[in-house]
Amino acid sequence: MSTTTSPVATVAGVDVPTGHFIGGRRVDSARTFTTISPIDGAPLAEIARAGEEEVDLAVRAAHDAFPAWAALGPAGRAAHLHRLADLIDANVERLAAVECADMAMLLRSLRARVIARGALNYRNYADLAVAYEERDWRSKGTWNRVQRMPAGPAAVITPWNAPFMLSTWKTAPALAAGCTVVLKPAEWSPLSCSLLGELADEAGLPPGVLNVVQGIGEEAGAALVAHPLIRRVSFTGSTDTARHIGRAAADNVVPFTAELGGKNPFLVFADADLDAAAAKAAGQYDDAGQVCLSGTRLLVEESVLEPFLERFHAATDAHVLGDPRDDATTVSPLIHPDHLERVAGFVDRARASGQRVVRGGARTGGLFYAPTLIEPTDNDAEIVQNEVFGPVLTIQTFRDEDEAVALANSTRYGLSAIVYTSSLGRADRVGRAVRSGVAWVNTFLVRDLTAPFGGVGHSGIGREGGDHALDFYSDLKTLQILEGSVR
C-alpha cells in the first residue's frame, strides 16, 4: 500500500484516478482488479483492490474526521454539500461519459437526469438538515426536546447499476446529518465513484469526511461492515449479500438499512388506457431491465389481454439494441459476462421446465439479450418468484381485483408496484392493498426525495428519503428539563 500519486486511466477521454480516496489523498494497493466496458468487453482500467489494511485506514480517517465535521452543524455542512452539488452539475458530461463506458447505461439518460440527480441529492439533504425543527413539548412537569446527534462513521455499499446516483443518494443524507463516510462502490462499475472523491476534495470537504475504497465485496465490503468503528451501515444490492452484512452489523450492534431486490407487479385493469399501459410496460426493458424498481410481472385483466399484447409487442418491436452512446439505442447491453450467464440461465431453465417463451429468449451477441416475455405455467415457477434483473418479463392474467392483488402479493419481495386503471376508487383500493414500498398509478419512476423509500419482505429493511434517512444517520436524544428549575 502506498500514498504516492495514484495511477490514472483515461476513460472516454476523461482521466480517472484508479487508487482509493482516503483521508483526502490517493492510496494504492499491491493488488488490482480489472474493470471492463460492457459496450465492447474492452478493459478500461486496473483498479486498486483493497483488503483489511486499506479499509482500516479509511475507517480510521473517517473516525478522526468525525468530531470536527459533526461540530460544523447543519448550516456549515450544507455549505460544503452545495459546493459539491455545483461541481457535479459542472461535470455532468465527464461523469456521464465515464459511467456510460463503465456500466453501459444510456448516455442520454445519464446526461439528462441520472447524473444531475446526484447534485439534487446533496442539495436536498443539505437543505432538509438545515430546516429540521426539533420537537418541543411539555409533559409531567418537564420541558422536552428531541435532538439529532450525528451517529459517527458510516459504511455505504452501493450496487453496479446507476453507481454515481445511488452513491450520492446514500452519502448525501449521511454527510448532511453529520456522519463521515466510507463508500465502497461495486467492483463492476467503480469509476464514477472515484471521480466523486475528486469532486468532494475540490468542494473543500475536509480530509476523511468522504472516503472511497474500491475492491471485491467479499474482501473490502466484508471488512468494512465488520469494522468496530463503523456506527451505521447502508447497503443496496442482493438479498443474499444483505444477510451477510446484517449479521456483521448485528455483531457490532450497528443499525443497518438495506434496499434490496424486487419482483414487482405491473397491474393492468380493463378500464386502463391500454396504449399508455403497454408503452410503459415495454419501457421496463430500458437499461436492459437492470433496474430494481422495474415492473417485471405483467398482470393483465384477462378480458383485455389480446389488445394489450398487440400494443405491447408493437412498443417492444420499436426498441433498438445497440451502443448506449448512440441516441437511437433504447436497450443497452448487460453489465458483465457473469450477469449475462445468470439472466440466460433463468430463461433456459424456464424453457426447460415448460414455461412458454412468448418472445425473445436469446443472446444477440456481445452482452446483449433480447427483450423477453414469458408466460408461466403456474405462479410458483422460478421465473415468477425470483428476481432476474435483466430484460425478462412474465405475463399472467387475472379475473378480478381480488385475484390481481393476490397475485401481486404472491412473492417474497415488495419493493414497488405499478397499477394502470382509470378508476380513482380502484387506484386507492389496490394502491393500499399491494405490499410494496412504493405504488405508482398510471406512471412510473416519479420520485419525491422527501418521501420514504425502501421495500418490504425480502426487498429491504428500513427507509431512505427525506427525514427518514437523516434520522437513520442520527442518534435521537430527548433532552428533559424540570420546569422552573432553570432560568
Catalytic residues: 259, 292
384/265 Cα distance (integer angstroms): 10
Question: Of 316, 326, 328, 324, nearest to 368 (Cα)?
Answer: 324
Question: Of 430, 357, 343, nearest to 386 (Cα)?
Answer: 343
Helix (H, G, I), strand (E, B) or coil at 381: coil
342/348 Cα distance (integer angstroms): 10
52: cell is: 483489511
93/111 Cα distance (integer angstroms): 6
Q: Return the C-alpha torsion angle 202, 203, 205, 211, nearest 10.
A: -60
Question: Which parts of 187-343 are beta strand (E)?
Answer: 210-212, 232-236, 256-259, 264-268, 295-301
Residues near 111 by Cβ (< 8 Å), separated by ≥ 6? 92, 93, 96
Return the exposure string of 58-80: e unless at least 16 CB atoms fall within 10 Å of the residue's CB, then b: bbbbbbebbeebbebebeebbeb
Question: Of 125, 129, 119, 115, nearest to 85 (Cα)?
Answer: 119
DSSP string, 29-46: -S-EEEEE-TTT--EEEE
Return the exposure string of 269-290: e unless at least 16 CB atoms fall within 10 Å of the residue's CB, then b: beebebeebbbbbbbbbbbbbb
Which residue type occupies 306?
Answer: E
**How many CB atoms sit inside 10 A of residue 10's CB?**
10
Location of C-alpha cell 440527480? 117
